[in-house]
Structure 1
């Protein structure tokens, strides 16, 4: 009987620790790019319809994972979004993945380089009920090799600054 209560206590503590480590992360979604080959016409859709509280400020980051076959030190992304208005606008972002000496930025493990890049901060509005982001690569290559994962993360603004 005592062993069962210790197991339940341990599971409860483990659950509390794991949920407290989320750090205010509200949304996180990643797309695995099949075989590390990202075609120019491939669109990645992110629907943020779970954001229902109005007046909350969020920090949005773009998450990238590339492998060693990625041929460039930067990556141009085209992001269509309606985060600040009900109209869709397109942002063009240059993501630096390596410095001028070829050293990869971010963290590396097992041949993958991971990088988190700030995209924008926005406040939810009552006039927008379905926030959307679409990401596509804006490089000159029709087939871009070496991109493994692309995603976005959203964190409540006040929690991300702690």
Structure 2
């Protein structure tokens, strides 16, 4: 019986690994050292973009622990275009409901070694104006110098179905 269960697990794992995310253009997450994100630290990500025709969605990935003391997280996302021009967005991310129950995948209750993952869309159905390397800088925009309990922050860009 154990061999059968192990075989089922192995086959399921191989199927999951072989699945591709056809809409994903870019995804990268930056680990926050010691789960302490200071106001001076930026998560810097660079994406090579070759498609100026398709529309894209932009999403922020956040992993937090129960040590994070707030229900929400505000971040600034600066986009630097290949021609050097830039734009800046302020993004609010809800991490817990009004009762303090954590949102996101990974369960509603955390222990010190676990985390919750949240993915929040902040730009919808946008086209890249230029091909080339785009630089994204994500910095925390909370009113405290050091945020405790943020494991990592990242960016996902995916093609829309349109």
Deviation >6 Å, runs of 4+: none
* TM-score normalised to structure 1 length: 0.79
1: CA distance between counterparts of 2:73 and 2:115? Answer: 15
- Of 136, 146, 159, the residue aligned with 2:149 is 146
- SS of alignment partner, residue 35 of structure 1: helix
* TM-score normalised to structure 2 length: 0.79
1:92-131 alignment to 2 at 5 Å?
92-108=90-106, 111-121=114-124, 122-126=126-130, 128-131=131-134
- The superposition leaves residues 122-156 of structure 1 with CA deviations (integer Å, 9 ceiling, x where unpaired) of 21223x52222110001111111000010111111
Q: Which structure 2 segments of 5+ residues have no match?
A: 1-13, 108-112
Q: Which structure 1 segments of 5+ residues have no match?
A: 1-13
2: CA distance between counterparts of 1:149 and 1:76? Answer: 14
Q: CA deviation at 1:80?
A: 0.7
2: CA distance between counterparts of 1:70 and 1:146? Answer: 4
Q: CA deviation at 1:25?
A: 1.2
Could you say if the C-alpha distance between residues 111 and 19 of structure 1 is closer, same or farther in structure 2, counting changes exceeding 3 Å? closer
Q: Which has the larger radius of gyration?
A: 1
Q: CA deviation at 1:81?
A: 1.3
The residue that corresponds to 1:47 in the other structure is: 46
- SS of alignment partner, residue 119 of structure 1: strand
The residue that corresponds to 2:79 in the other structure is: 81
How many correspondences in the alignment?
A: 143
The residue that corresponds to 1:27 in the other structure is: 26
Q: CA deviation at 1:22?
A: 1.8
- SS of alignment partner, residue 29 of structure 1: strand
Q: CA deviation at 1:54?
A: 2.1
Could you say if the C-alpha distance between residues 98 and 132 of structure 1 is closer, same or farther in structure 2, counting changes exceeding 3 Å? same
